[in-house]
Amino acid sequence: MVPPGNIVAYLLASVAPPVFFWLVLKVPWLFGVLARLRRRPPVPDGPPIERLAADLRRVHRSLVRLAPDTLLAQACQAVGEIHWLDTIPEGIEREVERLRVEDALRRSGLMVP
C-alpha cells in the first residue's frame, strides 16, 4: 500500500505547476478588472453639456449678450476650456474672447452657432 503522504506529494507535484502558470497568466487580467473597478467616471458638477449647447444656440438667436457669456462659461467648464469672459469688460476685447471661446468649443465637439 502506498502511504498517503506520497499520494499528496504526487498530486501536489503534478497539479501545482499548471495552477501556478494559469494564475500567472490571469494576473494581468485581474489587475485590469481591479483598475476598472477603482476607476469611476467623473461626476459632472453642472448642467449636461447637451443642454448647454442647446441653450447656447437658442440664446445666440435671441441676441441677448449676458446670457451667452454665462452659458459659454459653463460650457467651457464642462469641457475643460479656459475662458476670460468674466474678467474682460464689455467691448471689442470681450467680443473677441467670445469668438475665441465659441471656436474652442466647436473644436471640442460642441455645436455652437
Domain of 21, in residue numbers: 1-40
> 55-94: per-residue pLDDT in tens?
888 877 666 656 678 888 889 988 889 898 889 888 889 8
Do 87 and 60 fall into the same domain?
A: yes
In a domain, 34, yes or no: yes
pTM higher than 0.85: no
Do 29 and 59 fall into the same domain?
A: no
Do 57 and 98 fall into the same domain?
A: yes
Q: At residue 57, what are phi and psi to the nearest 5 degrees? A: -65, -40
> 13-24: per-residue pLDDT in tens?
888 888 888 888
Do 6 and 56 fall into the same domain?
A: no
Return d(Cα 110, Cα 66) in angstroms, integer.
20
Q: How many domains does the chain have?
A: 2
In a domain, 113, yes or no: no
In a domain, 8, yes or no: yes
7-16, 43-52, 94-103: which has the minimum mean pLDDT?
A: 43-52
- For residue 98, give every residue at least 6 positions away whose Cβ sits within 8 Å of its Cβ, in sequence order, or none: 68, 69, 72, 85
